[in-house]
Structure 1
Amino acid sequence: MQRWISVIVVLMLIVLVIGLTMPAVEQTRQEARRSHSKYNLKQIGLAVHNYHDAHKCLPPGGVIREDDVALHGWITMLLPYFDQNDDYLRINYQVPWDQDRNRAVLEQSRSLFLIPGNFSRFTSQGYGLTNYLGNPNLLYRNSNVTFEQMSNGTSHTWLAGEVAGNFQPWGYPFNWRPLGTKLCDGPNSFGHPPWQGGHLLFADGSVTFFSENTSDVILEKFAAAPPVPTAEQTQVPDRTFETGGFSWNNQSLQSDPQAEQLYYVHVLSGQTDQPLRIEVYSKINLEQVPDLPKLRGPDFLFVVDKNTDIAEALQATSLPKSASPEQLQHNAELLKNLQERLPE
C-alpha cells in the first residue's frame, strides 16, 4: 500500500510540474511566432522599398481593367522582390488571377504571407492565403502612390498589418482593408487575437506592435494619414472566402518513367477525405531533362468536375503518348473514383 502511495505522489508531482511549465512553454511559443510574423512584415516592407526603387512608386493595390475585370494584386507584383521571380514569370498577367492557367502558382501556400500558428492555409477553392492586408490609402485600384505623397512622413504612415480573420488569397486583387478604430475587434479587424494586439508595418520599413487597447484616436490618425483616395478607388467586392482545414494532396498517374513528361492529379480536400476539387497536371521529368531552367513549372491540363468525360479529357492530353493502354486505363479509373466522390 505504501508503495502505491509513493507512486501516486510521484505522478501528482509530475502532473504539477507539467501544469506549471506549460504556460511558460506556450508563452515562449507565442513570442517566437510574434517575432516570426514581425520578420514577415519586415520582408514585405523591404520588398515594397525595392519595388519603389525600381518603379518610382508602390505596386498597384490591384490591377483592375476598365471593364472592371480584376487581374492581379499588390502581393503578386512583389514576388520578384521576395526572390520568387520564377513564379512571377509563370503568371499570365493578361488574364484574371483565378483563371486555371494561373492556379499552379496562386494555389501555393507561402509561409511569408502567413502568421505562424495560423493553420488555415487555403480557401475552399484551394488558393493560398495571406494573413496580411494593406492600407487602402496606399494600395487600391490601379494605384501608383509614391513615398513623397505621404505628407505625414513614411514613419507615421502604415503600409500593411496582421488581420484577425476573413483571410483572403494572397493573389486576390483586393488585398486591402480599412484600419478601423480598434484592434482584434472581430474577423474584419486588424490584429492577432491570441496576442491581444498586432503588428503594423510602416512605410519606412519599421514594424511596431500595438496592443488591442491602443487608443482609437491613435488608430484614427494612422487611418487618416494622406494620401487619401476616393471611395470608388478603394471599393472592394462583397466577397468572403471560406477558409479552415483545406489542403492539397498529389497522386501520381501511371506513365513511362523514362518519358520526358510525368503526370499527377492535384486533389483539394477539407477536414474529411472527400475531394472538393480535382486538377490534372503534367511536369517535366527532371531525371530525363536535368538541365531544364527552373522557370518551367507544372502545366495545368484539365479540371475534373461531375460532368467531365475522363477518357475524353485524358485523350486530349499528351498522356496517351507516355502511357501504355493498361496504365491509361488505371489512370482513368483512379480519376473516375475521385470524380464519384465530388460533392453534388
Structure 2
Amino acid sequence: MSKIQMLGRRPGFTLVELLVVIAIIGVLVGLLLPAVQAAREAARRMQCSNNMKQIGLSIHNYHDTFRCLPPGTLAQDINQQRQPSWIVRTFPFMEQNNVFERAIFAGTDWTGQDLIDLNWELKHTVRVETYNCPSSDMPLTRSETPRGDTQGLGAPSTLEVQLSSYAGIAGTYLDPRDMASAPSPNYSVYGRATFNGVMASIGGNALPRALRFASITDGTSNTICVGEQSSFYSDSKTDCRASNHAGGMWASGPGGDTDWWLNVTVVRYPINWDGTTSSACPGYQKHTITRSNHPGGAQVLLSDGAVRFATETMDFALYNRLSARNDGLPTGEF
C-alpha cells in the first residue's frame, strides 16, 4: 500500500466495537443512577428537615409571644364558626405576617362548609412552600366548591386550597401507660388518651385551655409535636393526610371533642403503616398516619425544635410514649 493510500484512511469503530462501548456506557449508567437518585433524595430529605425546623421555630416564637402553644384545634362556636388551623396561627412567625394580617377571624368559617368564607381569596391564592415536603408525590392542593354566599363575594366556582405535608400530634389513641403492660394493643378498643399530645384540641369537652411548654412534663426533647404526612396510603393511592378535608391546611375543622379535626392527628397506627388494602382512610380525619416517601420511615419534630428521623420499625409502644406529653414513661434514644 502506498504512503498516499495510508494517509487517506480514516480510523473508526467497527460495529462490534461500537456495540461494546454502548454496552459499557449502559452498565455505568445503571451503576450510577441509584447513587444519583440517593443523592437527590438526601437533598430532599434535608429540605424537608429544614421545613420542620422552621415550623418548630415558629411554634417556639408563638409561645414566647403568647405564653402558650398554638391550639391544635379550637372548638367552633355555636354559630358553626370554624376556626383557623394551628398552621395559620403561626404565620406571623413564618415570615407570612402579610398573609396573617389579611386574614379575617370573626364571622367566618375556615372550612367554608357551614358559614360564609371571608378568607376564600387567601386560601385560593396563597401558597407557603414550607408546608410541603419535596419528596412527596401528592397533590399540593385540593379542589373545593364554595358556598353560594361565598361566591357572592366574588369567589370562583372552584377553589384550589393548599394541603400540608405536616400534622400536629394531638394525642394517642391508646394510653401509653396501658401499653406498658400490653405490648400488643387491641386496636378495636377506644383509647382514653386523645388529648395527651402537644397539639391537643382545646375547648368544648376537650382541654379547657391552651397548653404551655410547662405542660410537657415528659420533657420537650422526649415529646413529638409534629409528624410528617407526605405519601399516599395503600396501593389505591388514597390521600389520608390530616389536611385533606374542607379548608385544607387553613382550617382546624369543628375542633373540640368532635368526630373530625384537621391538620392534627391522634396516633393510632405505626409509622408508614399500610395494614389493609382498603381504599378508605383508617380512622379518617382523626387517626391519620405518619407516612413519608423517605425510605424507611418519616421525619418528626420534637417539642424542643429538633427534627428526628423515626424509622418504620420503631417499637409502637415507644412511638406512643414519644407522642404523649405527660405519661411519665422513659423513652430513650430512637
TM range (shorter): 0.5 to 0.7
Determine the structure 2 residue equivalent to 1:66. Answer: 77
The count of aligned residue pairs is 228
| 1:109 aligned onto 2:169 | no
Question: What amino acid sits opposite 1:51 in the alignment?
Answer: Y
Determine the structure 2 residue equivalent to 1:96. Answer: 109
Contact 1:114–1:130 (CA<8 Å) still a contact in 2? yes
Give the Å deviation of 1:111: 1.4
**Which structure has more helix as a fraction of its residues?**
1
Paired residue secondary structure (2:264): coil
Q: 1:79 aligns with which of 91, 109, 112?
A: 91
| 1:222 aligned onto 2:322 | yes
Question: What amino acid sits opposite 2:132 in the alignment?
Answer: L
**Which structure has more strand as a fraction of its residues?**
1
Distance 1:105-1:227 versus aligned 2 partners, 3 A rule: farther
When structure 1 is superposed on structure 2, of 186-195 and 169-178 the one drifting more is: 186-195
Structure of greater relative contact order (alpha carbons < 8 Å, 6+ residues apart)? 2
TM-score (structure 1 length as normaliser): 0.62
Q: Residue deviations 1:214-257, cap 9 Å, x none? A: 111211212333289xxxxxxxxxxxxxxxxxxxxxxxxxxxxx
TM-score (structure 2 length as normaliser): 0.64
Determine the structure 2 residue equivalent to 1:335. Answer: none
Q: 2:224 aligns with which of 158, 161, 164?
A: 158
Determine the structure 2 residue equivalent to 1:147. Answer: 213
When structure 1 is superposed on structure 2, of 84-93 and 192-201 the one drifting more is: 192-201
In structure 1, C-alpha distance between the alignment counterparts of 2:143 and 2:305, rounded to whole Å: 33
Gaps of 5+ in 1: 229-344
In structure 2, C-alpha distance between the alignment counterparts of 1:179 and 1:71, rounded to whole Å: 22
Paired residue secondary structure (2:267): coil
In structure 2, C-alpha distance between the alignment counterparts of 1:32 and 1:2, rounded to whole Å: 41
In structure 2, C-alpha distance between the alignment counterparts of 1:227 and 1:81, rounded to whole Å: 30
Give the Å deviation of 1:101: 3.2
Contact 2:44–2:134 (CA<8 Å) still a contact in 1? yes
Paired residue secondary structure (2:45): helix
Which portions of structure 1, spanning 4 or more consecutive aligned residues, are displaced by more than 6 angstroms?
none
In structure 2, C-alpha distance between the alignment counterparts of 1:2 and 1:204, rounded to whole Å: 64
Give the Å deviation of 1:181: 4.4
Determine the structure 2 residue equivalent to 1:213. Answer: 313
Paired residue secondary structure (2:31): helix
Paired residue secondary structure (2:127): coil
Determine the structure 2 residue equivalent to 1:20. Answer: 31
Contact 1:109–1:121 (CA<8 Å) still a contact in 2? no
Contact 2:45–2:294 (CA<8 Å) still a contact in 1? no
Q: 1:131 aligns with which of 155, 160, 165?
A: 165
In structure 1, C-alpha distance between the alignment counterparts of 2:304 and 2:265, rounded to whole Å: 20
Contact 2:135–2:294 (CA<8 Å) still a contact in 1? no
Q: Residue deviations 1:60-96, cap 9 Å, x none? A: 2223333243121100000000011110011111111
Contact 2:70–2:210 (CA<8 Å) still a contact in 1? yes
Paired residue secondary structure (2:140): coil
Give the Å deviation of 1:144: 1.0
Q: Residue deviations 1:107-153, cap 9 Å, x none? A: 33321001113242001221101010001122224451100111101
Determine the structure 1 residue equivalent to 2:270. Answer: 182
Q: Residue deviations 1:189-224, cap 9 Å, x none? A: 103144220111111111111111011121121233
